Structure formats: structure tokens, C-alpha cells
Structure 1
């Protein structure tokens, strides 16, 4: 089990969770943030600081966002386990489900 970032993060990418993560396992894609399922230590530090309530423990993910467990994993299919997001910076890609979403939020 791991934590998952769901749809409310798309086009928001607040990064408060990134600052809070003690193991640097939250990576930034073009439109959303993603938690590496193998690097996450399940500490839960990211969840309470998310201003849009997009982070859930996998078992607590609302039904409408269940697909985001797979979306988070797909983000790392070609990337593997780099051992920390900080060294990579923003990656200009997202899994197909996120990439296909219409623009979210304001503006």
C-alpha cells in the first residue's frame, strides 16, 4: 500500500507535499504530482498539507478516483526508481488519463 495523488492535483501542483516528504518520493509531471509507489514509506506527512485534498492512502481513495492508483504507478513505468525526485526536476509528461483531461481549475 502507498499514498496516491488523485485528480484534484491536476493543474494545481501546490508542492506543499513535496516540501513535507522526508524521502523525496513525490515527482512532478507536466500537469500533476505523483507519488512513487516503491519509494513511499507510508509516513503520511504529505496528506494533511495538501490544500486541495488530493492525497489519499490507497485504501481510502474515493471511488471516483480509484484509477489514480494505476495512474501514479504508470508515471514511473519508463522512469523506474530514480531514488529521489529532487534530482530530476519537472518531467514534461503525464500518464494518458491525466494528459487527456481538459484544463482544470481557474483560468
Structure 2
């Protein structure tokens, strides 16, 4: 988590770090500007997919980057991701995360 925050900040973004899904949901329920949710799929308690679903219910245009140690198929629903979503699997290169983030923020998520 700290590594992802460092990458985002090096790219010039303001990163809001949440320790778990519940803390992340509280951020999404707030008035803070959130351009992208970066979430690990395999979090204890509220997992990343549940957090993303709750986030999209609150913010329908929320862009989401899933990070997973599982096969990408574990995240992809019915063989595809919704617009504004992307997946990166562990292990990954930091520049790959940076590229996915840039594509999602720039609105090119379906090509991410």
C-alpha cells in the first residue's frame, strides 16, 4: 500500500491512504475529490471488489484499478470489466502501475 502511495505521489497525484475497506468506504462517502480508487482485491473484511461496488454506488463515474494476486478472471465479471476499470496482477513493475493509473485518469480505461 505504501509503495503504491509513493508511486502516485511521484506521478504528482494526491493519494489518500486507507488501511482497509471500511476506511476506504468512509473516504468515498466523504466530500473529498476521488479520481481513482486503487484497491487490492484480497483485503480482509470488505474486499476490494465489495469496496469498488460500494464506491460505484456512491460515485457512478469512479475509476477503479484492481490489484490482485489472483488470476485476472477472479476480478472480471462475465468476462469483461466495466468502463473505467482496469486490473493489474501481482507481481507487477511499478511503471506498469504508473501506466495503468495514467490511462485511467486520462479516461482511457477500456484500453488500460
TM bucket by the smaller chain? 0.3 to 0.5
TM-score computed with the length of structure 1 as normaliser: 0.32
Report 1 or 2 for greater relative contact order, CA contacts < 8 Å, sequence distance ≥ 6. Answer: 1
TM-score computed with the length of structure 2 as normaliser: 0.32
